[in-house]
Amino acid sequence: NAPAAVIAIAKAKPFGVKLNAAGQLIVGLVDGELALVNPPFSSGSTPAFYVAAPTINGGIAMDVGGETIDAAGNLYVPYGSNGGANNGLNAGVGVFAPPLGASSVPLFAIRAGLTKPTGTAFGR
């Protein structure tokens, strides 16, 4: 089966996706940015805005994938590294409060014990 829509993001390759409670598509990009696409989705859809890659441990965090949203709407974004070039020195999980906007920055980053996180999840 063919996809119903293909959303083009020209800035960087997508690495992870998540829908928030408002139905917006949050796309993690390998350059560390987040792209937010508003519904309805179609092949002509483009990101409404981008959230810049944060600084973690003194460097730009990259390789976003495996985002998760908790019950309060906070977005947990794993940043695998700085393009893989520094063995996880700038890796961590950034925690963003809702609503996500173009000027959003993480409230804090979880770094303890993380080298190259690729996903986040909440469970029982």
pLDDT digits (tens, 9 = 90+) for 74-122: 999 999 876 556 677 889 999 999 999 999 999 999 998 888 888 999 8
d(CA 59, CA 86): 10
d(CA 17, CA 10): 16
pLDDT digits (tens, 9 = 90+) for 21-41: 999 999 999 999 999 999 999
pTM given for the model: 0.91
- Tracing tokens 């893989």 back to the chain, one arrives at 84
Instruction: Decide which of 2.40.10, 2.120.10, 2.60.40, 1.10.3470 is the CATH code for 14-110.
Output: 2.40.10
Tokens for 17?
A: 């996706």
Residues ≥6 apart with Cβ < 8 Å to 47: 9, 27, 35, 36, 37
